[in-house]
Amino acid sequence: MTRERFISEARACQGRLRRFLASLCGDAALADDIAQEALVRAYVMSDRFAGSFKAWLFRIAYNCFIDNLRRVPPPAVDLMAPEALHVADKEESDAAFRHEALKRALSRIPEKERTAIVLHYFEDLPVKEIAAIMNIPVGTVKYYLSVGRNHLKEHIRL
Amino acid sequence: MMDIEQYLRDNKPEMPEEGQFLVETNARLCNVEGVKKCVDEDRHRGRVALIIALGAGLVLGCLATLLVVIYPFPSIEVNQSALAKVVAELLKWKAFLIALIAGCAIALGVVFMSRKKEAL
């Protein structure tokens, strides 16, 4: 793959890539750092690329996110003490607030469930593609989606 | 009551401007480009060296074969006398060699057992 083609493909995907990573990390600056690391890794390995560029790039980005998580583990989250967040009430229907509440709720669920939820609902990826990105079976993705939805319901009162 | 799936779809996060991100990414890609070029050049040089070594080996092998064909050598006689010398040498150092082999076997056994203990 030539540099020009790589850059044009990366330019087309970068918005979604950054949103995916920002939803996983909950920090836009860190997400941008990981996205850049992923793009550099992808560029170095671009000779070996085959198939869908977006899925391939997301897979590399997910691996970068996991590497980052191992280097800097997040603070422990107590799943048994969910915070009820009133997000759909009339006086609290502000979009920014709802996003903040969602961000907090996402940070409280396990990383694999969060990844499946983000890829499926924010990036509109099919389960099969998510399975390829996370390198797990399709059934496991469906399980993570179901459990993740239930965990989110515990943290967000709709 | 709102459905959680609908809620998630309605609340996709929005990312800030991409300008700075693309500028920084381009700069990093330029740096990587330089490293990539060096690596590619090294690989190319390695491949060329390998091809030269293969060619030289082939030529030397052909020359050696040619020499053997042109000047045949009574190899059986040489082999037999050499073998007899080796056997005589081995017999002379028989006790020492047996002790050496036994020592190695015991050392290997000790190493293997200690590793197994570490693994457990």
Look up the ipTM and state it. 0.71
Counted across chains A and B, CB pairs separated by less than 8 A come out at 76
Put simply, whether A93 touches B (Cβ < 8 Å) is: no
Domain extent, residue B68, equals: 17-72
What CATH number matches the domain at A90-155, 3.90.1170.50, 1.10.10.10, 3.40.50.300, 1.20.120.450? 1.10.10.10
The predicted-structure confidence for A75-128, as pLDDT tens digits, reads as follows 655 555 444 444 444 444 445 556 778 888 888 899 999 999 999 999 889 999
Q: How confident is the model at residue B86 (pLDDT cuts 50, 70, 90)?
A: confident
Cα–Cα distances (Å) from B86 to B79, B80, B83, B92, B97, in that order, read 10, 10, 5, 10, 13
pTM of the model: 0.63
The predicted-structure confidence for B47-78, as pLDDT tens digits, reads as follows 999 999 999 999 999 998 888 888 776 666 66
Query: Are B89 and B66 in a shared domain?
Result: no
Q: Which residue of A has its CA nearest to B1?
A: A158
Instruction: Answer whether A158's CB lies under 8 Å from A87's CB.
Output: yes
Distance CA A10, CA B107 (A): 58
CATH topology of domain A3-71: Rna Polymerase Sigma Factor; Chain: A (1.10.1740)
Put simply, whether A7 touches B (Cβ < 8 Å) is: yes
Put simply, whether A39 touches B (Cβ < 8 Å) is: yes
User: Looking at the DSSP assignment, which residues form a beta bridge with residue A80?
Assistant: none
Q: Is the dihedral of CA A53, A55, A56, A60 positive or negative?
A: positive
| A151 or A86: which leads in pLDDT | A151
Query: Are B57 and B21 in a shared domain?
Result: yes
Query: Are B67 and B82 in a shared domain?
Result: no
Please give the tally of structural domains in chain B.
2
Query: Which residues have C-beta within 8 Å of that of residue B25, sequence separation ≥ 6?
Result: A10, A14, A35, A36, A39
Cα–Cα distances (Å) from A51 to A12, A43, A46, B60, in that order, read 16, 15, 12, 46
Write out the two tokens for B12: 């996709």
Contact A122 B32 (CB under 8 A): no
